Structure 1
Amino acid sequence: MVMTAAGPDRVDLAVIGGGLIGLSAAVAAARAGLSVTLVEARTCGRHASSASAGGVRSLNRHPAEIALARRALELWRRAPELFGDHCGYAESSQVRVAEDEEAMAGLEARRARSKALGWSHEKLIGRDALYARVPSLAGHCRGALVVEDDGFADPLRSVHAFRRTARSLGVTIRENTPAEAVTAEPGGVVVALAGGAELRARVAVNAAGAWGTGLAAAVGEAVKVRPVALQMTVTEPVRAFVKPVIGTHGRKLSLKQSEHGTVVIGGGFEGRADLATGDSDLDFAGVTQNLANAVRLFPILADARVVRTWCGIEGIAADDLPVLGPSRTVPGLIHAFAFSGHGFALCPLIGEVVADLARGRNHGFDLTPFAVDRFA
């Protein structure tokens, strides 16, 4: 992708989508000296970014994402430098628990696959080591897979920090401004906005989350991505009982306790998503099952009161991998959407990758598994 000069009516980069991926791209591009305008259909971080569990995880990643996840960890540690705020980041470790022998065998197989690919960040521990680390667990667990330097951050705090940083670097942010299409023109692209307005740019990035599917389809790039409303729950503060972020092998659960004692519970249970209206609704049967999973692992939560349950719309690809890389049909368009419920950990790095793509620079990662035409 070769740079051409931006004119008085054309910015270097138009970012479509104000979630953490889009905000990160805006920050990285502006820091690299590009002029940037970001358009967001609603308000920044309204959906997937604010409905994230906040896990900063390289544990149990798809092999194609491991290199990205390990590099992104380094950037989260530099959050105060990069985003003017620690974003609630804490290096707490992540633990994927096996509740029975079948699950333990699954973790052993996972560790073997990771090791065969040359990765050594995942460590298998047995029952005694698990209970020494997390004594509050119910007594039936068998062991776990652990990554010591994984952690978590605060999604909403991160949205605010990324947005402030973008504005401080001169990024123009236009909320309540839906983008409807992207077309090529000599020297760049045109982003058609709702109401008939247009935004001209040298390069555009489709970071529209679940709505990115429609923008891709409009340029002839059909992707197998479905919209879902991922559900989250937070409890009242309870006494401290767990430090790592906890997941399970074979059961849908992600759980962490904040420094204030509240417990954030997720795991991929889905509500109902309506892309046309942007509305999402809870499925209380899923919420109930999610809470039951948490109590099964941590009986201390049996009497904890729920303070809030919410959901936000995300795009889930058929292979659970993001769509990331250049469009094959529109020169000057970059896709960065459908992170399938686990893009939060990657977001600081994805911004840098997008900025490198926009400038025609080598980002150093193999993006082949994420190509938009893999669904053809």
Structure 2
Amino acid sequence: MSGLPDRTDVLVIGGGVIGTSAACRLAEAGVGTVLLESGALGSGTSGTTAGVVRTYFPGNPLISSLAVRSLAAYQEFAERTGTDLGLERIGLLVLFTDEQQVQDFRDTRAAQQAAGVDVELVTAAEAARINPLVDERTVLAAAWAPEAYACDPPAIVRGYAAAARQAGAVLRTETPVTGIDPDGLVHTPAGSIRADTVVCAAGPWAGTVAAMAGVHLPVTTYPVEMLLADAAGSAPRDALPMTMHPSSLRIRSWGDRILVGMGRPGPDETRDAWLQRVSHHLGTTFPALAGQGLEHGWSGNLDVSPDGMAFIGRDPSRPFVYAAGFSGQGICQAPAAGEIVHDLVLGKESWIDTAGLSTARCPGVPAGTA
């Protein structure tokens, strides 16, 4: 591997979907861009999710607006570059089990639609028609959002990385950052590089990277595990939609099996007890899956913010931009996040008011400086 350049306009730290999206956007705008990744591209949070790009985020129209813009950008990127992102429409079904959830949907539907989300309230019977595994007796109603797509996260990362390189960006893997000086000199085992602006898109390591630059980024690490279950004999042949239950249980088709997620064991809960809890919710909501064994699929760490919404902003006292804390939703927001990072770096007015995305929204958290 050749050494690092002596300097760059922008140094992006993190080679997942957020970092490669930002690097692609900056490089295509003619900005000198170097990206550093401590492992392989897409080896962090980007490979941990259920692989679904969706536009509807209950209770948060701001995230939904980022997701709507991102879905359009993915479709444009695939058409423009010929990259197969594996997009296959499956839809999103959000189950409601009490009246307050239904009322919350009604209260926020107008804001969701204003954000560009196509979503409607459906009856329990309609929910069971959309996903035949649902026991309609266990739900009151559901939200149905057809604009949700299965995707190929590694292909998305590869696509953005290739486009960034083609536009002139330098991408270095297996190159962890070990220090960041106040003057923008960034240190790695492969040498040091001076950057006019540093962009932190390091996922679960974002807080550590930011601290090297003297910036406080309140991102924590949340381990998750995805499980696989065999499809019951009565399961439909067509792909099931991503289906979310208030318990945090979620399922979708995964080839000829069922992908199951429900977070992780609680602080004082054994993995066996957690698996039993997952099995209970699975069998109650989707009776055809009762008794199906759950196998480990994959696991990893998410970068989580205190309120579950990403931090995207610029430190007020130094040339340091951050995009982290996506809480497992980064694949749905990466193109829009890359666009916002581009605007922050270049000092351009963004398509969205970014004030609500900065760390300043969290009480007791400084605007950025540690």
Q: TM-score, normalization: structure 2?
A: 0.85
**Of residues 329, 350, 356 in structure 1, which corresponds to 2:337?**
350
Q: Which position in structure 2 is the counterpart of 1:322?
A: 310
Q: Is 1:333 aligned to 2:351, yes or no?
A: no
- Measured after TM superposition, the shift of residue 231 of structure 1 is 1.4
Q: Is 1:109 aligned to 2:104, yes or no?
A: yes
Q: Deviations for 1:246-281, whole angstroms, at most 9, x for unmatched residues?
A: 111x211222114x3232222433699xxxxxxxxx
Aligned partners of 1:46 and 1:312 also within 8 Å:
no
**Of residues 181, 196, 211 in structure 2, which corresponds to 1:217?**
211
Q: Which position in structure 1 is the counterpart of 2:200?
A: 206
Q: Which position in structure 1 is the counterpart of 2:261?
A: 266
Change (3 A) 1:262 1:284: same
- Measured after TM superposition, the shift of residue 301 of structure 1 is 2.9
> How many angstroms apart in 1 are the aligned matches of 2:336 and 2:265?
27
Change (3 A) 1:49 1:121: same
Letter in 2 for 1:151: Y
- Between the aligned residues of both structures, percent identity stands at 25
Q: Which position in structure 2 is the counterpart of 1:193?
A: 188
Aligned partners of 1:265 and 1:291 also within 8 Å:
no
Change (3 A) 1:295 1:172: farther
Change (3 A) 1:356 1:268: same
Aligned partners of 2:127 and 2:136 also within 8 Å:
no
Q: Which position in structure 2 is the counterpart of 1:131?
A: 128
Aligned partners of 2:61 and 2:111 also within 8 Å:
no
> How many angstroms apart in 2 are the aligned matches of 1:46 and 1:298?
32
Q: Which position in structure 2 is the counterpart of 1:275?
A: none
- Measured after TM superposition, the shift of residue 242 of structure 1 is 4.7
- Measured after TM superposition, the shift of residue 82 of structure 1 is 5.1
Q: Deviations for 1:320-349, whole angstroms, at most 9, x for unmatched residues?
A: 12111111232x211011111211100122
SS at match of 2:45: coil
- Measured after TM superposition, the shift of residue 183 of structure 1 is 3.5
Q: Is 1:51 aligned to 2:48, yes or no?
A: yes
Letter in 2 for 1:254: R
Letter in 2 for 1:71: R
> How many angstroms apart in 1 are the aligned matches of 2:353 and 2:44?
28
Aligned partners of 1:229 and 1:312 also within 8 Å:
yes
- Measured after TM superposition, the shift of residue 184 of structure 1 is 4.2
Q: Deviations for 1:126-174, whole angstroms, at most 9, x for unmatched residues?
A: 1232223222312422210121223231223323333333333333221
SS at match of 1:293: helix
SS at match of 1:246: strand
Aligned partners of 2:262 and 2:278 also within 8 Å:
yes
Change (3 A) 1:84 1:170: farther
Letter in 2 for 1:226: T
> How many angstroms apart in 2 are the aligned matches of 1:247 and 1:148?
14
Letter in 2 for 1:162: Y
- Measured after TM superposition, the shift of residue 315 of structure 1 is 1.7
Aligned partners of 1:54 and 1:345 also within 8 Å:
no
Letter in 2 for 1:144: A
Query: Comparing 108-117 with 28-37, which one deviates more in the overlay?
Result: 108-117
Q: Which position in structure 1 is the counterpart of 2:248?
A: 252
- Measured after TM superposition, the shift of residue 83 of structure 1 is 5.4
Query: Comparing 296-305 with 347-356, which one deviates more in the overlay?
Result: 296-305
Aligned partners of 1:79 and 1:87 also within 8 Å:
no
Q: Which position in structure 2 is the counterpart of 1:5?
A: none
- Which sections of structure 2, spanning at least 5 residues, go unmatched? none
Q: Which position in structure 2 is the counterpart of 1:229?
A: 223
**Of residues 79, 82, 85 in structure 1, which corresponds to 2:83?**
85
> How many angstroms apart in 2 are the aligned matches of 1:265 and 1:82?
34
Q: Is 1:37 aligned to 2:34, yes or no?
A: yes
- Measured after TM superposition, the shift of residue 289 of structure 1 is 3.2
Letter in 2 for 1:203: T
Aligned partners of 1:206 and 1:335 also within 8 Å:
yes
- Measured after TM superposition, the shift of residue 213 of structure 1 is 0.7
Q: Which position in structure 2 is the counterpart of 1:276?
A: none
Q: Which position in structure 1 is the counterpart of 2:277?
A: 289
Q: Which position in structure 2 is the counterpart of 1:18?
A: 15
Q: Deviations for 1:93-129, whole angstroms, at most 9, x for unmatched residues?
A: 211012x3x2x43133133124257456331111232
> How many angstroms apart in 1 are the aligned matches of 2:73 and 2:282?
30
SS at match of 1:151: strand
Change (3 A) 1:265 1:287: same
Letter in 1 for 2:252: K
Change (3 A) 1:194 1:283: farther
Change (3 A) 1:288 1:180: farther
